[in-house]
Amino acid sequence: MGLLLAAFLGYLLGAIPFGIIIGRLTKGIDLREYGSHRTGATNALRTLGIRAAAAVFVLDVAKGVFAVLLARFLFADDPMVEWAAGVAGFAAIVGHNWSVFISFSGGRGVATSAGALGAMSIWTLAILVPIVAIVIWRSRYVSLGSIVGAIAAPIITALLAVIGAATIPAIGYALASGLLVTAAHADNIGRLRAGTERRIGQKEAAESHG
């Protein structure tokens, strides 16, 4: 029951559609009507600009962090607390990608998964961030950096666990979230293979609707 409650609360946190909210507040638009039709920071960057995208990114990261921390707080005395935290973090990604508040649409879960990963294993995130940044810098593809990060996360976490710097539940979370984020990029993978994926700097025009 504890794991189910953690999943439910994590999902509700993750389902808060900050991309939609920021789009409405800044330009009066529905972010899903532009670009990739996703609600995450990458589409916000192309459609709304850097400030709005930064706000969406920070808030989406916070959803993952708070999901894990809330589970730890609620189940502090439970021996399964770290598993509950991982379940809550994973559920937050599911909520972000398929939000009940916006007809089960959403983003790809990258920022939310990163937030939960940082709460589960900060050292994994510390190692992963520069790797992802280098991939994006060299390729100019945000999606490629996200996919590389999703695949590398469980490997890095497992190596950290060997030296006692990460936990088994953290490995489980990293593996599950990595698979989910990679699956959410299926269309990006197709465009990368075809050479039609958009690079950083290619913007989507969006007129203000008031």
What φ, ψ does residue 107 adopt, rounded to 5°? Answer: -110, -150
pLDDT (tens digit, 9 = 90+) per residue, 170-208? Answer: 999 999 999 999 999 999 999 999 999 988 866 554 555
Contact 98, 106 (CB under 8 A): yes
pLDDT (tens digit, 9 = 90+) per residue, 114-156? Answer: 999 999 999 999 999 999 999 999 999 999 999 999 999 999 9
Q: Taking Cα atoms as reference points, which of 55, 59, 52 lies closest to residue 35? A: 52
Contact 152, 174 (CB under 8 A): no
Residue 204 pLDDT: 53
Q: Residue 8 gets which letter from DSSP?
A: H
Report the SS3 class of residue 188.
helix
pLDDT (tens digit, 9 = 90+) per residue, 79-114? Answer: 999 999 999 999 999 999 999 999 999 999 999 999
The angle at the Cα of 69, spanning 64 to 74, to the nearest 5 degrees, equals 130
Count Cβ neighbours within 10 Å for each residue of 29-48 and write b for 16 or more, e otherwise: bbbbebbbebbbbbbbbbbb
User: Up-side HSE of residue 114: CA atoms within 13 Å toward CB?
Assistant: 21
Residue 168 pLDDT: 97
Give the separation between CA 188 and CA 113, rounded to whole angstroms.
Answer: 18
Which two three-digit tokens encode residue 186?
Answer: 């299926």
Query: Taking the model in full, what pTM does it have?
Result: 0.93
Flag whether pLDDT at 209 surpasses 70: no
Q: Residue 67 gets which letter from DSSP?
A: H
Contact 3, 84 (CB under 8 A): yes
